[in-house]
Structure 1
């Protein structure tokens, strides 16, 4: 089941998407495997604090965030990983750690790794650890309007 907020938004905007139900997973690489998509097409969401304010960083699941490079790309901002306790309340319709990369629905800015822009389609958590959404990347970008950054390196 999709998060109610995401489901309503995608339907109201007449978005083109597919829902994928899968066995319970808790990591993005395992979810990519469960829904049978290449890891570079599965978008994982990492919550950051940028100068003390929460933000989402969305990247392919086969990469990890380089906080130093994020800080440099954001003009020297102080960037650190956010703890789950700091953001859990922002996503009341999502399971912890399964929030979709639609920060615009929750009042959170979104930064996206430029390598996702190379994908025709992306897949991401839909608010649970058993459901995902697949949609054209271009449509995701139009709906979310993230700031695109080139920051990660292979795990």
Structure 2
């Protein structure tokens, strides 16, 4: 189970975090509400297909992804979101439950938007629609080890 894998990963890395068990949430707005947090603290993880592979992108939940910025950064003409079927096949997760971690949690390169770094904390659904984790952004960046941090959201 991804939730247990994340908790274990954070404990091994000696990172402080809080766990929330709550009613199932399907949107970033609902998740923020049940956690009692501002929407901007949510880490929205999106799996995108770029060229022949998939990459994981994380941005603040109050932001929208800017595909032009991603295309420019990767020097590609097209990108697309994974389908629900692809997401499940690749992760065994449903939309809204994808945590903001690449390797070793999920087998993808990880890219983090600058919007995440503007917050003190990050909150995210951790492999289920009912389990969330809250932790400091500096600890998240330290253990998640993104391949790159750049601006790929709309203000």
State the TM-score, normalizing by the size of structure 2.
0.89
**Could you say which residue in structure 1 is the equivalent of 2:27?**
27
Query: What is the CA–CA distance in structure 2 between the aligned matches of 1:97 and 1:34, rounded to whole Å?
Result: 14
Residues 1:47 and 2:47 are matched in the alignment = yes
SS in 2 for 1:56: strand
Q: Which runs of 5 or more residues in structure 1 are unaligned?
A: none
Q: Is the 8 A contact 1:55 1:108 kept in 2?
A: yes
User: How many residues matched?
Assistant: 153
Q: Which runs of 4+ in 1 moved over 4 A?
A: none
* Aligned-residue CA RMSD (Å): 1.8
Q: Which runs of 5 or more residues in structure 2 are unaligned?
A: none
Deviations along 1:88-136, one digit per CA (max 9) or x if unpaired, are: 13323x4553021111122101111101101111111111111110001
**Could you say which residue in structure 2 is the equivalent of 1:58?**
58
Map 1:121-140 → 2, pairs under 5 A: 121-140=121-140
**Could you say which residue in structure 2 is the equivalent of 1:15?**
15
Query: What is the CA–CA distance in structure 1 between the aligned matches of 2:119 and 2:47, rounded to whole Å?
Result: 22
**Could you say which residue in structure 1 is the equivalent of 2:98?**
99
- Deviation for aligned residue 1:87: 2.5
Query: What is the CA–CA distance in structure 2 between the aligned matches of 1:95 and 1:51, rounded to whole Å?
Result: 23
Query: What is the CA–CA distance in structure 2 between the aligned matches of 1:128 and 1:28, rounded to whole Å?
Result: 13
